[in-house]
Amino acid sequence: MDCGSGVTLVGQGNDTVQITFPNNYNYTDIYVKANNGCGSSSNRSVRVRATPETPLPISGLASGICNGITSYTVPSSPTAISYNWTLTGPGTILTGQGTNNINIDYPNTFISGKICVTITNACATGSPRCLLTSKDIALSEQPQDFQTCNSTQAMFSVGALGMNLQYQWRKMVLH
């Protein structure tokens, strides 16, 4: 059976079909429902892709990067044969090229860069997902205001993203 656009379907009416796709397609949705003399099921569908999806967001350190090794990962794709990671700026991919998880060694000269990853399946390579990276450190949590009585202690904490962080606290003039 010719389904249009060069797609052929063999096995209509059965619980299994064979579908042949043309050379120039990107993706299509396949729908199926079951019928009998009393009614029909609801439709079920699946998306078939020639070009792999863009990877989901990259997890890993984006700021506070300084002279060391850090890991980056994307969720795995069921259709992936391999993952291709690239970086701009100083740094070396130590391990993981071809997988969904890499380790990068950053030199102390690192200022900023970009990490990108693409997914390759049996047919093609998809669009890249990128993460901008920087040596700049940013506090991710602000210390909370606090009231205390004379001669008591108070505890404060902050959160920051970065490698090998040390914190410097100071107080202003007491009033």
Task: Please give the average per-residue pLDDT across 79-106, as a whole number.
Answer: 96
CATH 2.60.40.10 domain locations along the chain: 59-134
- Distance, in Å, from the CA atom of 119 to the CA atom of 127, rounded to the nearest integer, reads 8
Task: Please give the average per-residue pLDDT across 128-151, as a whole number.
Answer: 82
Whether residue 151 is predicted with pLDDT greater than 50 in this model: the reply is: yes
Dihedral-angle region of residue 39 (phi above 0 means left; psi in -120 to 50 means alpha; beta otherwise): left
Tell if the pTM clears 0.75, that is, is over it: no
Whether residue 52 is predicted with pLDDT greater than 50 in this model: the reply is: yes
CATH class of 59-134: mainly beta
Distances (CA, A) of 113 to 38, 63, 104, 116: 62, 10, 12, 10
Per-residue pLDDT band at 2 (split at 50, 70, 90): very low
Give the residue from 30, 104, 8 showing the smallest Cα distance to 62. 104
Handedness of CA 110, 73, 129, 57 (dihedral sign): negative
Contact between 76 and 52 under an 8 Å Cβ cutoff? The reply is: no
Distances (CA, A) of 140 to 65, 147, 157: 15, 22, 11
Check residue 6 and give its pLDDT. 67
Per-residue pLDDT band at 66 (split at 50, 70, 90): confident
- Distance, in Å, from the CA atom of 11 to the CA atom of 3, rounded to the nearest integer, reads 12
